[in-house]
A and B are shown apart, each in its own frame.
Chain A
């Protein structure tokens, strides 16, 4: 569950502007939709705003991650000529949009049934112990935020977490801690299965569609 949206919180910046490069992107995104239906671009624009804030945050000290300030929502409402409340509705509905500041690495921990059966509790506890924070909290250095989420659709390789845009699967308590250490050092950990599983096939290799797997160059 993400943090609630607070309009008047101290951390809300006064104003928001898209960068020059992103302004062009905004135009491109709006052009994807028929004239007069520009409101449809609200979701990609919110994402763009969140990424822009994330990029700024990566360079900042202490670092922070991508989130959407209210000023950005108001700006998007103005750009798309729609009521502010409609933008807030969208932004507060989807878990992908952060409406409050998060750490540079937003660790989204899946605890839905398949992950839970495969030991997501261990993974969650590993994160809590290793970082010394609870769910919905951010480390003091601004690097990590823990967030519990519902199924992210990678159940075959449960348990899993999503950190920013990437999935890390087949986790154990140890591999989760290692993953956090690698990220804290500023390095890029291996994406996907942490056990060496290819895609979502059996750990021993493909059991069906073998030819196709070879053709695709996965095995």
Chain B
């Protein structure tokens, strides 16, 4: 690509043609103040804060965010003219800004506050009345104080360009200009929390976090999110023991700098409904009573005594980290039990080949894809940031998208091609329309929702998809376009360590069946909350539940062992791409709760089957040695293409999207008052919309 050379503040730099002066200055490490410019949004150049002097050009300051670098340009970012111009802009911005920093939640991390320190005047020359703007109702997540708004329009552009839900706009003009939503509609997007981050002032702030803390009082820990399977990089801000907010952390290949609303706002669920001490079900009364760890372990030892390996089973839920999965697997193996499964959504697919369950193209691969076929998935609800990437692929590169499965509002246009495996077969044979575009594409992508396997014929569907991927030529020398989009943070980790039925073992459905017919006598579950344990587990089975929330499964348990939530332990998670990431302990667990793998380690000793690791380091080394995919940190190891699935008759019934309520997909969300409020507000609105549409 052609480059241009220019001089900024007597420093020479060579940049690609089309780079703006602001970007070039940033490359040199020169700070140029700005409000409206955001590197992931289009450039409106309306705040005028980034003015610089360009020698030889017109004798006036130029907006550096919107002016492209030219060959031989001489730019000054700190000349007297620039300073004067920026001071003027700052004075204009502050004319209508309320200066209520002491009661503003943005205080301490506010762009306007910071830049006013550099360019502000120490008093106001403005004698007239300041304007006031009515606040807007944006739902239970975003608090608005519109008088603070400086009309940078970042929120308008974000809603339109990234979230794909153009519901914000700038209304009226001149002094009356204001940001508004239409029909007073709530900002109904799963990415709305990011509006809070991109707002450079305190106009849009977090409602749940309102007046809770100042940024400098918080302890910040960089961690990994578990609310979906993409493993967003997050920062957990804690005051005392309490998680007060969760913010995104930059990771270009995963979440860029956005996170979904569930990731951001479900944290209040970490304080409610927690299991903070062991419980044991009393034999006589049949009620769960508080117990000590020793009593709980003794009960387990008593019940497991004399059971054969085949009579014991293990399940792990959606939020479980790799360490405890491995520990449970090792423990079950010591007992000689082949019955274990991580697919507690009831999915049936062949876990033997990595290519068969990974998001092989990688999430960043969406940026290269030139045709995308979604099968049985609503990525907007299953992996919001994957959806945002698809949306951007269409917004910026006009990539065509096809859908086989349920129709839903995905925030971009797509062609609906049917809803079952039969329609997939038709698509494979078709030669016109989207099928032609897809077959001609250089980097076609198939994204399969994990929900398609949640039925009797799951393995046959898996086989059919493998065949279709080959026929559609999505596997090339340097490109694997076959992707499974998982929803559970634990799933790929569990599959990578083989927490699936061993030779002769029962799978999830088989285990539940076994508890009902008596062939499974004891069941150990870690955080398996996503099925109705009370009705599906047989009455006679002895159930041990280890987890952090008193949700579905805990109610059925005979012994409850309190564990840690994701913010309370150092843990390894693997996202849907197979990317190994490390979550860090940010807060301490409540009461008597313990780090999950240590519970298993302690229990194993009581049961006389001591696990061979005494520290997390030893356990991790054991994992790295046993499972080679964990050796590389933060880089998905490519899976080689192979045959998978088992041949069979795939049913013709339509695919069903598994996420029915985006806001309540796991135990933490269900315990969160914020998520419950969102569920009420947004879900009702969506239902009304659907009813109206019918």
Interface segment out of the listed B170-178, B327-335, B572-580, B615-623: B170-178
A 74-94 binary contact with B (CB < 8 Å = 1; else 0):
000000000111101100110
Query: Contacts A7-B183, A7-B184 given: A83-B170 contact, CB under 8 Å?
Result: no
B 173-192 binary contact with A (CB < 8 Å = 1; else 0):
10010001111100000000
Contact B172 A93 (CB under 8 A): yes
Partner pick for B167 among A1, A4, A83, A92, CB 8 A cutoff = A83
B166 contacts across to A, CB distance below 8 A: 83, 85-86
- 8 Å CB interface, B125-181 against A: 160, 166-173, 176, 180-181
Counting contact residues on chain A (CB < 8 A from B), the size range is 10 to 19
C-alpha spacing A201/B176, complex, angstroms: 37
B171 contacts across to A, CB distance below 8 A: 5, 88-89, 92
CB distance from A72 to the nearest CB of B (A): 14
C-alpha spacing A83/B165, complex, angstroms: 9
* Identity of the chain A residue whose Cβ is nearest the Cβ of B171 in the assembled complex: A92
Contact B173 A85 (CB under 8 A): no
Contact A88 B173 (CB under 8 A): no
B 609-652 binary contact with A (CB < 8 Å = 1; else 0):
00000000000000000000000000000000000000000000
Query: Contacts A83-B166, A86-B166 given: A92-B182 contact, CB under 8 Å?
Result: no
Query: Contacts A84-B182, A85-B181 given: A4-B172 contact, CB under 8 Å?
Result: yes
Contact B172 A85 (CB under 8 A): no
C-alpha spacing A29/B616, complex, angstroms: 70
Count of A-B residue pairs with CB < 8 Å: 37
Contact A7 B173 (CB under 8 A): no
Contact A85 B184 (CB under 8 A): no
Query: Contacts A85-B167, A86-B166 given: A92-B172 contact, CB under 8 Å?
Result: yes
CB distance from B43 to the nearest CB of A (A): 18
A86 contacts across to B, CB distance below 8 A: 166, 169
B 3-28 binary contact with A (CB < 8 Å = 1; else 0):
00000000000000000000000000
B169 contacts across to A, CB distance below 8 A: 83, 85-86, 88-89
CB distance from B657 to the nearest CB of A (A): 25
* Identity of the chain B residue whose Cβ is nearest the Cβ of A89 in the assembled complex: B169
* Identity of the chain A residue whose Cβ is nearest the Cβ of B169 in the assembled complex: A85
B184 contacts across to A, CB distance below 8 A: 7-8
A92 contacts across to B, CB distance below 8 A: 171-173
C-alpha spacing A36/B169, complex, angstroms: 22
CB distance from B491 to the nearest CB of A (A): 36
* Identity of the chain A residue whose Cβ is nearest the Cβ of B166 in the assembled complex: A83
- 8 Å CB interface, A55-105 against B: 83-86, 88-89, 92-93
A93 contacts across to B, CB distance below 8 A: 172-173
C-alpha spacing A1/B177, complex, angstroms: 12
B182 contacts across to A, CB distance below 8 A: 7, 83-85, 88
CB distance from B155 to the nearest CB of A (A): 12
* Identity of the chain B residue whose Cβ is nearest the Cβ of A83 in the assembled complex: B166
C-alpha spacing A149/B328, complex, angstroms: 76
Q: Which of B171, B182, B183 has the most CB of A within 10 A?
A: B182
C-alpha spacing A88/B170, complex, angstroms: 9
B167 contacts across to A, CB distance below 8 A: 83, 85
C-alpha spacing A5/B171, complex, angstroms: 9
CB distance from B519 to the nearest CB of A (A): 58
C-alpha spacing A93/B169, complex, angstroms: 11
A5 contacts across to B, CB distance below 8 A: 171-172
Contact A89 B170 (CB under 8 A): yes
C-alpha spacing A84/B184, complex, angstroms: 12
A4 contacts across to B, CB distance below 8 A: 172, 176
* Identity of the chain B residue whose Cβ is nearest the Cβ of A82 in the assembled complex: B166
C-alpha spacing A7/B136, complex, angstroms: 13
CB distance from A80 to the nearest CB of B (A): 13
C-alpha spacing A129/B36, complex, angstroms: 47
* Identity of the chain B residue whose Cβ is nearest the Cβ of A5 in the assembled complex: B171
* Identity of the chain A residue whose Cβ is nearest the Cβ of B165 in the assembled complex: A83
B168 contacts across to A, CB distance below 8 A: 85
B181 contacts across to A, CB distance below 8 A: 85
C-alpha spacing A83/B411, complex, angstroms: 12
C-alpha spacing A4/B167, complex, angstroms: 19
C-alpha spacing A129/B176, complex, angstroms: 28
Q: Which of A83, A85, A86, A92 has the most CB of B within 10 A?
A: A85
A7 contacts across to B, CB distance below 8 A: 182-184
B183 contacts across to A, CB distance below 8 A: 7, 84
CB distance from B183 to the nearest CB of A (A): 6
Apart from A83-B167, A88-B182, A89-B169: 15 A-B pairs, beta carbons within 8 A? A5-B172, A7-B182, A7-B183, A8-B184, A83-B160, A83-B166, A83-B169, A83-B182, A84-B182, A84-B183, A85-B168, A86-B169, A88-B169, A88-B171, A92-B171
Lowest 5 A-B CB distances belong to which pairs?
Answer: A85-B169, A83-B166, A85-B182, A89-B169, A92-B171
> 23 A-B Cβ contacts within 8 A?
A1-B176, A4-B172, A7-B182, A7-B183, A7-B184, A8-B184, A83-B160, A83-B167, A83-B169, A83-B182, A84-B183, A85-B166, A85-B182, A86-B169, A88-B169, A88-B171, A88-B182, A89-B170, A92-B171, A92-B172, A92-B173, A93-B172, A93-B173
